[in-house]
Amino acid sequence: MIKWKEEGFLPVEKAEKEGDYVCPICHKVLHLEAGQTIPRCCGKPMEPMD
């Protein structure tokens, strides 16, 4: 059985739109262009800011 919860098996998320993305843990903000891979910070993917 493949353990999907392991980090290496998580699908790579791409930014749907250009904008600022924030880490839900440490609140670091990064500006991404549409189509860029969403980086991980503190073990979690960064989230789009609204």
Interface positions with Zn ion (CB under 5 A): 23, 25-26, 41-42
Closer residue to Zn ion (CB): 1 or 47: 47
Phi, psi angle pair for 42, to nearest 5° = 55, 30
CB 43 → Zn ion: shortest distance, Å?
A: 8
| Smallest separation, CB 20 to Zn ion (Å) | 14
Bridge partners, residue 20, by sequence: 31
- Residue 3 or 27 having the CB closest to Zn ion: 27
Beta bridge partner(s), residue 48: 21
